[in-house]
Chain A
Amino acid sequence: MMDLFPLFSAATTGGTAGAGLDYWIVAFSAITVIVTIWMGFRSAKTSKTAGDFFVAGRSVSVGWNASAISGEYLSAASFMGIAGMVMSSGYDALWYPVCYACGYLFLLLFIAGPLRRFGAYTIPDFAEGRFDSPLFRKIAVCFVLFIGFFYTMPQMKGAGTTLAYIFPGLPYWAGVVVVGAVITVNVALGGMKGITLVQAFQYWAKMFAISVPIFVLMAFYGHYGKQLSLNATAPQAAVQTIEGRKPLPEKAPNDATWISPFGRLTTKAAAAAGLSPEEQKPYSLLYTYSLIVAIVCGTAGLPHILVRFYTNPDGVAAKKTTMWVMILIGVFYVFPPVFGALGRNLLPELYLAAGAKGTDKVVLELPRLLNERVPGLGSILSGVTCAGAFAAFMSTFSGLLVSMTGALAHDVYGRMLRPKSTAEQRMRAFKVAAVVIGAVAIVLGTRVEQFEINFMVGQAFAIAAASYFPLLFMSAWWRGMTMKGAATGMLTGGLLALLGISLTSFSDMKWIDLAEFWKANPLLRILCEQPAIWTVPLAITLMIVVSKLTRKEIPADIRMKMLVLHAPEQLGLKQEYIQEHQHGH
């Protein structure tokens, strides 16, 4: 092959994995980081009031907002994690991208319009307004932080993995600290108005970064279908030598379990219990359903995504935005599994490594193989995917940080601690809160190297599914809800999900020893690891039962509240509601 880039070939012909510093990759990543920070600082100058910081002055158009929501939503899990998990677990991992995208349908059908019409900055605002209860706000705020921290951990793993790939030899934790610190400063200075622009730009950066390298790779190594066709569905030995791919190491799942449903991911607990493959299947089905419930319902309960709906001018715009988000992210989600399928055939050595060196980095490393065919090209495309990864974890981490910081500054400080604080004091509180939360997220991030990025995000969704989703869904559509009912359901469902997930994570981290218990009780292991299938119905049931018991406490102006949630804006009910409310207090 012709050497396209002779200047850089010296640095890039050193082979694929384990080579030294690659300047193309460093350059692309540095540009992404600098542009992101520059945009944040530039827009910091134009956002002055506290309202600007929280919801961007509510003046964002459908196109911008849809790109921004997609940009924020496509996290390290989508960009790196799905590909890594498809490579490590095969078919079962496909449920993640599909449900990540389809969860938006639930958001669109049941929540986006009413939530925007009600008009509030955050979910705790909604919780308080819907039930006229400042106490409920305090309860609701907790989950912004619970879900947020669970969601930031995988972003931090993405950061650590990417930096360890770009700078071979750099320890995982150092990457986490550097990226975490940079974003924290950026958020503390820029606020959300900056983030809207940055997020929208980053969606398109990620889309470019995931699609272009995969098309080039497919042009050289064969298309998606061909890559899958190399994996036989008939059971056979683990080590295979097939033309068009490298031999699989012992540790890799064999073809049949990889390409067929009910593979490694969903049968893990039952396999550990020593059940036969036939006996494992029902457990596997249960795991699959629980995963589906967690992600579809969880999407509709993510605090950092929901806060964006308030930046739409009205309920119709909120619905239109949601539809565009589904299209933007749906197109994106076709690509990461292709990386997983190609990675299995071309980069099987990743199966041998763990943590930051494992399959989670397939998106970063795979394009580099092209250096064998066209020296230089592989490095450039690997630089592109690294830039995309930066865009992914930076944008999601910023979004989470804004909403967690908003919860602390706006809810805890502005409403609970110092209700009479001035706008200036609140701005300062916002900055302090950003630094505190950023620091906690960094510390947590350094602890989770062993977990798959995508798996951790799935856990955050499961907590959202059992807490915010029932709250939002039931509050928007059932007027019989009382504050006590909502709080009981949300707390019980959410905390049980949190407990189950923490138990399995802590035992996997060897902080507590439950391995024998899980072996004896594979069913309990699945119900703890993927709790949505029982926590979501439990939360909704509790909401109904407790609300019926406390029916006297239904807010007096419930009809008006429901009208505000559901009637089109043209009827002017919102202004009326605000006036009445001001008289009432």
Chain B
Amino acid sequence: MRSSPTSEPDALHSEAFLHRLMARQLKLSISCAATFLVALLALPLVNYFFPEVMAKRLFGFTLTWLVLGVLFFPYVWVISWIFIKRSMALESEEVASIRGKQQ
């Protein structure tokens, strides 16, 4: 099934394959990280500039406490779930493309 080490130059060991592989995976990772970082890094700024809004009460919580102490966790789960799904799809595409070329 797998490529033979002696058959060079083949698609698997080519510069183009590595470049595409890393670029696609990195792009996915960075876009997920950005989604997360925007929320994480914005919260202190929102606390800083809009303290009254963030001190509004919701079920007894202040808004900022509710966001940071509770809502942040599910937000991160959603991002990681999307990442896993896309990353696995991406990997099986890469495997399929290499095997397609070898036949």
Contacts and interface: CB of A to CB of B under 8 A. Distances in A.
Interface of A: 91, 94-95, 97-99, 101-102, 104-106, 108-110, 113, 223-229, 233, 259-262, 281, 285, 288-289, 292, 296, 316, 319-320, 322-323, 326-327, 330-331, 333-334, 337, 477, 559-560, 562-563, 566-568, 570-573, 576, 579-580
Nearest to B22: A566
Contacts, number: 150
A570 B87 CA distance: 15
Given A323-B83, A327-B77, 18 more contacts: A91-B64, A95-B68, A98-B69, A101-B73, A101-B76, A105-B32, A224-B60, A259-B65, A260-B55, A289-B44, A292-B40, A292-B41, A320-B84, A334-B73, A563-B18, A566-B21, A567-B12, A567-B21
Contact of B40 (A102, A108, A227, A331): A102
Contact of B62 (A109, A233, A289, A323): A233
A335 to B, nearest CB: 10
A322 to B, nearest CB: 7
27 contacts: A91-B62, A91-B65, A91-B68, A97-B69, A98-B40, A98-B69, A101-B72, A101-B76, A105-B36, A105-B76, A105-B79, A108-B80, A109-B32, A228-B62, A259-B62, A261-B44, A292-B44, A296-B40, A334-B73, A562-B22, A563-B18, A566-B21, A567-B94, A568-B91, A568-B92, A571-B98, A572-B3
Interface residues of B, number: 55
A477 B33 CA distance: 15
A221 to B, nearest CB: 13
A391 to B, nearest CB: 22
A116 B15 CA distance: 22
A12 to B, nearest CB: 31
Interface in B40-96: 40-41, 44-45, 47-48, 51, 54-55, 57-62, 64-65, 68-70, 72-74, 76-77, 79-81, 83-84, 87-88, 91-92, 94-95
Contact of B77 (A281, A319, A326, A560): A326
Contacts of A319: 83-84, 87-88
B61 A228 contact: yes
Contact of A261 (B41, B54, B60, B88): B54
Secondary structure at the B interface, as helix, strand, loop or mixed, is helix
A288 B68 CA distance: 13
A60 B30 CA distance: 29
A196 B62 CA distance: 40
Contact of B64 (A223, A261, A330, A333): A261
Secondary structure at the A interface, as helix, strand, loop or mixed, is helix
A226 B58 CA distance: 10
B76 A572 contact: no
A-B CB proximity, top 4 nearest: A225-B60, A572-B2, A229-B60, A330-B73
A330 B76 contact: yes
Contacts of A330: 73-74, 76-77
A289 B47 CA distance: 12
B13 A323 contact: no
Interface of B: 1-3, 5, 12-13, 15, 17-18, 21-22, 25-26, 29-30, 32-33, 36, 40-41, 44-45, 47-48, 51, 54-55, 57-62, 64-65, 68-70, 72-74, 76-77, 79-81, 83-84, 87-88, 91-92, 94-95, 98
B47 A566 contact: no
A288 B61 CA distance: 21
Given A109-B83, A320-B84, A570-B95, A260 B62 contact: yes
A285 B76 contact: no
A182 to B, nearest CB: 34
Contacts of B83: 108-109, 319, 323
A260 B36 contact: no
Contacts of A281: 48
Contacts of A337: 69
Contacts of A559: 13, 15, 18
Contact of A285 (B25, B40, B48, B87): B48
Given A109-B33, A322-B80, A571-B95, A260 B51 contact: yes
A289 B37 CA distance: 12
A482 to B, nearest CB: 18
Contacts of B70: 334
A226 B33 contact: no
Contacts of A334: 69-70, 73
